[in-house]
Amino acid sequence: MRENNEKGNNTEQGAANASRLHTLTIEQRKRITMTGVESVTAFSPQQISLTLADGKLVVTGSDLKIAAFSKTTGAFTATGNISALRYGGGGGKLARLFR
């Protein structure tokens, strides 16, 4: 019985970790599509600030527009002229990776 409980916990932990992951795709610096976005904290035509499970992501550019965002699924899409992405905050794995 103990092994089953431990395996069940590992499966639950794996699912919890998977829900914190995000994907990011940039198409020709004109369109960004993401999953795993928890919230949009600020936006303007020059900058969009997003909250992820492991920290923050700031997208900078010009003529930026949020095309879609679902808080339920974490799906996010924006269009415009994308010039930079900056991860920060949270102190999680992403922050350590990009030091």
CA dihedral 36, 30, 25, 73 (to 10 degrees): 30
| Predicted structure pTM score | 0.72
* 3-state percent helix, strand, coil for the chain, nearest multiple of 5: 25, 50, 25
User: Could you tell me if residue 75 is left (phi over 0), alpha (psi between -120 and 50 degrees) or otherwise beta?
Assistant: beta
At 80, the amino acid letter reads G
Fold designation for 22-97: Immunoglobulin-like (2.60.40)
Q: Where are the domains of the chain?
A: 22-97
- Order of all β-strands in the sheet with 76-88: 23-27, 31-35, 76-88, 55-69, 47-52, 37-43
Check if the beta carbon of residue 22 is closer than 8 Å to that of residue 53: yes
pLDDT tens over the chain, length 99 residues: 334 444 444 444 444 445 568 899 999 999 999 999 999 999 999 999 999 988 999 999 999 999 999 999 999 999 999 999 999 975 555 545 555
As beta bridge partners, residue 24 has 34
